[in-house]
Chains A and B, each alone.
Chain A
Amino acid sequence: MLPTFMPVATQAAIKGLTPEQVESLGVSLILNNTYHLNLRPGLEVLRAAGGAHKFQGWNRNLLTDSGGFQMVSLSKFTTITEEGALFESPFTGEPTILTPEESIAIQHTIGADIIMQLDDMHKVSSLTVGPRVEEAMERSVRWLDRCISHHQSSGKTDTQNLFAIVQGGLDSDLRDRCLDEMIKRKDGVAGFAIGGLSGGEEKDIFWRVIRQCTGKLPEDRPRYSMGIGFAEDIDDANTEGLSKHAKDLRPIDDTCPCPTCTDGTSRAILHHTVTHETAAAHALTLHNITFQAQVMGRARTAIMNGIFPDYLRSFFAEYFGDDGYPEWCVNALRTVGVDLLENNNAKVIQGDGAKWEYAASMARQ
């Protein structure tokens, strides 16, 4: 059920947990990264295993990206040509090309339920402006056609769902053109992703682009907002937060339904083991995944009950509290008719504001 939280299992594992544990947390969709799986274990192994679901023992839904983004950010000397993305093979150093067809073929071998088109992502940053952005947007539309065509001709449309990725950088005219072109291809795709963001742009611009896209995208297709970071690497934040809890025998959150909290695992024993024992990382991962899934679950309930604005107000009050609300959130939500500051004197802070970290909330408790 959407919206949902999708934890990242880059290399076919959610860090430290078994798929059974992840499933018991109520997670129903995880992400594997195509670039990584293509390097290790490699397609020969995945093919022999019967796909990534079987390889990692995951019975629920799986999503893969096109592999392009990591290639651009992790490989040296990547060049984009009309044919595909040209890069240096990490194995042999030979020039290697990732074409839209090749990306889809790799994702077919991996076998995820949701697969992504290869898009032309301008190098590394979403801050790029100028003709390169336009070229990338137009090429992404052309590559979408090639992906759709390869996907349909390979007979995988019954088992795998291809998503388009809307590009266009931060330029609203380009975004509009991209949206129009991709919506024309709606029958060939199962859903739409919003790409080209989270590359360092200001949050205030970020939400305006998202708003523009969601305003146009068809209601009957799911939307995937790429690169929304719930902080992935929250161990350090937790370590910091836990340092105050050496003798604190309370769980992290006694209302949390995760195995760590319901078992009464104290902050004291987490403090004692964190950074020394992987078991402490497991306990925190169990909690953090549950926490994020709970946030989304409560949002779904609020939407179902028609009280999402109230939910947002109480969430912000609880989560940011005295630390102040990020101004961009306040502004963004005003455009959809939610006034976070209604009956509330909360402090508003400039800039990108607080991140999805737990240190602040832990310290407050």
Chain B
Amino acid sequence: MPSGLQFTLAHSDHAAQFGPRLGTLILRRPNGCEITLDTPTLLTSTSRGVVSHLSRDHVRQSSAIRWVHVPFETFLEQSPPVPTLQTGPHPLHRFLGFVPQDHILSTSVRDPDDVRQMPPNGPNYLAANSLRGVRKITPNEWRTYTDKIQPDFVIALTDTPHTPPPFSQKRLTKSIERSSAWLASLLSPVVSAVTPTASTDLTATDLSQAPTNASDIAATKPAVLVHLAGAASHPARSAFAAALLEPLSDIERASIGGLPTLDAGVAGYTIDLAPLRIAISSSPVSPPASSDINPSTNITSSLSALLQTSLTRLPRTKLRLIYGTLGPHDALHLLRDVGTDVLNASWALHAAHVGVSLDFVFPAPTRDTSPTIEGDSAALQPLGRNLYAPQYALDFAGLSTSGNTCECAACAPHMPDTRIVHGSDASEEADAYVRARRAASASADQANDGGDDDSSANLRNPSYTRAYLHHLLHTHEMSAHALLALHNLAVAEAFLQGVRTVLASSGGVDRFANEVARFEAYYAEESLTVGAPREEGEKGGIMAEARAMWAQVELARGKGRLAREKERAVAGGTEAEP
């Protein structure tokens, strides 16, 4: 069995370059273990190498967390970066506690969501952000590091300008040249470290001409993804795609292990929406390269047009990874108008961070017959609940609207199978007592639910309630965010599962477009990310409301509270309590 990566698109007869895609990604590890992901699939972002708010046992319990992206730049704080010191197989997995049998890891230098201004990149280095200031990283270093840490996917260095836009044509030309050169550097075989077989395997696989839409890539070297450069300029994006496809000279070929084109060495394409949005909003939109795409001032359709320009000539059979959607509406538009296989949902974690529990499904429920978040069933429904809001203090329902089943550790907490035994602790009697108590409560629940033939339900505790989460949020307890992160990621994954189910049905592509329209007519669109640019006239939804309440509790109970209270007391002339 060939080790490596296989990506297969369903509907292979459906030749459209753009539009919703359904596929299967199989990663076979040299030891024979195999990870299969149905696409479009969810990518979970990390911060300093961890999924925000989640301990490792929680990460492993979450069936939504399968593809994890690790921005590497914070590790540049130490030299050499500490993950490169990790020994044994799958060093990055091991260092961060991800499981090679379950988790696909990708890595890039920068956090693709980070759009803060940065000093300019150089001709041979990228400026990265770390707590100890800006770090320069060269393409050579990046290749050395990623060869050592062995992620499953590595994103080549890309020259995205993080200086104030708009960008001159000269700047964009430089960006394209650097990005292609840096990709070539990542693709070039490492003379000392990599065995010749690895590069031979890579050469033997011509991704662009794979007849069955399947591509096999050696797994001994991480698969390479390339970011589609060119910012908000159609000509620049077009030029970058052309550079990827351009046949290489003999000398150039020799330097990258005999590949006919740069594109032949990559497993897929990534698109970072956050910097692209900034580029679009601060520069006049240049006309699209092809005449059948109408320019639009709307950011979402501008985005789609720009992505289409990049992808129009690139082989459609390769993976597409889009980073930085603002919420489910945005994701649906990109799925429908461009087509992507991997989507990140930082918004699920952002929402968890400010106390919002997501509650939406795809396809959207049928109006009039389904329970709703807001009483008026004709109104557009919010995407979730701001659990800080006072109406949840006495709301003992679970996090999802009844009818939306969620299997996350907040809605259906797993009773622990085992527990640590500390010396002599009469564990058997205590455990027997708890089991009896649970059996009693489980049978009571079954009686209430009118019977539940799923016997595994006995292993779950009752759902955490909105009232409990409301309490945890107002008392500044971190457990709230752990539970919400688990829940929101599960909602995002279930949403993509809904997308896949619609696409797999007969007439799936047409049905999908109808379901997107129904979703838009059912749920109010709202940016779920923190710090995303607000569009003109945007009303404050659940996120804005939650952020304000989160800030109040943070001020009242967060770090520095005692100092602030003391200041107030001193200012007020009374002494602070000891």
Contact = CB atoms under 8 A, between A and B. Distances in A.
A272 B132 CA distance: 12
B438 interface: yes
A299 B422 CA distance: 10
Contacts of A13: 472, 475, 477, 479
A279 B82 CA distance: 19
B483 interface: yes
B474 A279 contact: no
Interface string A293-312: 11011111110100000000
B418 interface: yes
A41 B392 CA distance: 11
A222 to B, nearest CB: 14
Pick the most buried of A26, A60, A246, A290: most chain B CB atoms within 10 A of its CB: A26
Contacts of B51: 279
A196 B457 CA distance: 47
Interface in B405-431: 409, 413-416, 418-427, 430
Interface string A31-61: 0000010001100110011000011110110
A226 B424 CA distance: 23
A114 to B, nearest CB: 15
Interface in B359-418: 393-394, 396, 409, 413-416, 418
A80 interface: no
Nearest to A57: B461
B471 A24 contact: no
A59 B430 CA distance: 11
Given A12-B471, A21-B57, A59 B75 contact: no
B477 A246 contact: no
B578 A124 contact: yes
B462 interface: yes
Nearest to A304: B424
A259 interface: yes
Interface in B299-319: none
B479 A25 contact: no
Interface stretch (B42-50, B100-108, B218-226): B42-50
A157 interface: no
Contact of A40 (B74, B415, B474): B474
B97 interface: yes
A21 B49 CA distance: 22
A13 B468 CA distance: 10
Interface in B8-64: 47-58
Contact of B482 (A18, A24, A40, A300): A18
Given A15-B479, A49-B467, A283-B56, A246 B422 contact: no
A280 interface: yes
Interface size class of B (residues with CB under 8 A): 35 or more
A76 B572 CA distance: 15
Contacts of B54: 279, 282
Given A1-B426, A282-B478, A20 B413 contact: yes
B432 to A, nearest CB: 13
Nearest to A258: B420
B97 A265 contact: yes
Contacts of B413: 18-20, 57
B518 interface: no
Contacts of B468: 12, 49, 55-57
A20 B61 CA distance: 12
Interface residue tally on A, bucketed by range: 35 or more
A79 interface: no
Given A55-B468, A279-B52, A296 B422 contact: yes
Contacts of B578: 124
A268 interface: yes
B453 interface: no
Interface in B60-106: 74-75, 77-78, 82, 85-87, 94-97
Contacts of B292: none
Given A259-B55, A294-B423, A297-B423, A41 B409 contact: no
Contacts of B430: 1, 28, 60
Contacts of A321: none
B53 A278 contact: yes
Contacts of B437: 59
Interface in B422-461: 422-427, 430, 434, 437-438, 461
B394 A44 contact: yes
B71 to A, nearest CB: 13
Contacts of B467: 41, 45, 48-49, 55
Contacts of B50: 273, 277, 279-280
B38 to A, nearest CB: 28
B465 interface: yes
A218 interface: no
B481 interface: yes
B420 A48 contact: no
Interface of A: 1, 4, 11-21, 23-26, 28, 36, 40-41, 44-45, 48-49, 54-57, 59-60, 73-74, 76, 124, 246-247, 249, 257-260, 263-266, 268-269, 272-273, 276-283, 286, 290, 293-294, 296-302, 304
15 contacts: A20-B409, A21-B58, A23-B419, A26-B425, A36-B475, A49-B396, A49-B468, A73-B577, A74-B577, A249-B95, A259-B57, A269-B82, A276-B47, A297-B425, A298-B423
Given A13-B477, A14-B479, 11 more contacts: A4-B425, A13-B479, A48-B396, A55-B467, A57-B464, A124-B578, A247-B78, A266-B95, A269-B96, A273-B48, A276-B131
